[in-house]
Amino acid sequence: MNGEAVQKVVISLPASADYVDIVRLNLYGIASKMGFSYEDIEDMKVAVSEACNNSVLYAYGQEDGTVEVTFEINGDLLSITVKDEGDSFDNLTAQGEGSTLHDKELDDVQIGGLGFFLMQALMDDVSVESQAGCGTKVVLTKRLMRSEEMV
């Protein structure tokens, strides 16, 4: 740490699939400025799209809502927080009697169910905070690997 201040970019969007492209464009601009490779940026775009789609598909149903996306640059670390205030994932699992992916055939699994595993595979760190009635916050983190660190 060299005492650099954390930089934040915050965007607030309608919870609609039509606006997910705006999040990806912002991510591309910020990540390329930081020096991330094309491959890393593509991975992050998929993970962020998945987090946004979860908010759009599950949090609000047919209601109008807002998704807030925060990009936080801290040295070589990029954290992307996707936050909504709709129904949490917990409410959805409660309806399914706590069923997990293991109880289902792959064909029966909703895309959103696999999304979490996809996000984990593409990012260095993923955390999900979900509170009934307060919405869901997904934090995706990726560390910039500089070429001189490659072994």
100, 92 Cβ separation under 8 angstroms:
no
CA dist list (Å): 14 to 4, 22, 65, 151: 32, 11, 6, 43
Delimit the domains of the chain by residue range.
7-145
**Bigger pLDDT: 24 vs 128:** 24
- The predicted model gives 17-32 an average pLDDT of 95
Tens digits of per-residue pLDDT, 50-91?
Answer: 999 888 776 666 567 899 999 999 999 999 999 988 765 544
Nearest to 88 by CA among 57, 133, 54: 133
- The predicted model gives 40-57 an average pLDDT of 91
Q: Which residues contact 124 (CB under 8 A, 6 or more apart)?
A: 141, 142, 143
Q: What CATH number does the domain located at 7-145 have?
A: 3.30.565.10
- The reported pLDDT for the residue numbered 87 is 66
Tens digits of per-residue pLDDT, 86-145?
Answer: 765 544 443 333 333 344 444 444 445 678 889 999 999 999 888 777 788 999 999 998
- The reported pLDDT for the residue numbered 61 is 66
Cα–Cα distance measured from residue 132 to residue 119, given in angstroms and rounded to the nearest whole number = 22
Cα–Cα distance measured from residue 148 to residue 3, given in angstroms and rounded to the nearest whole number = 22
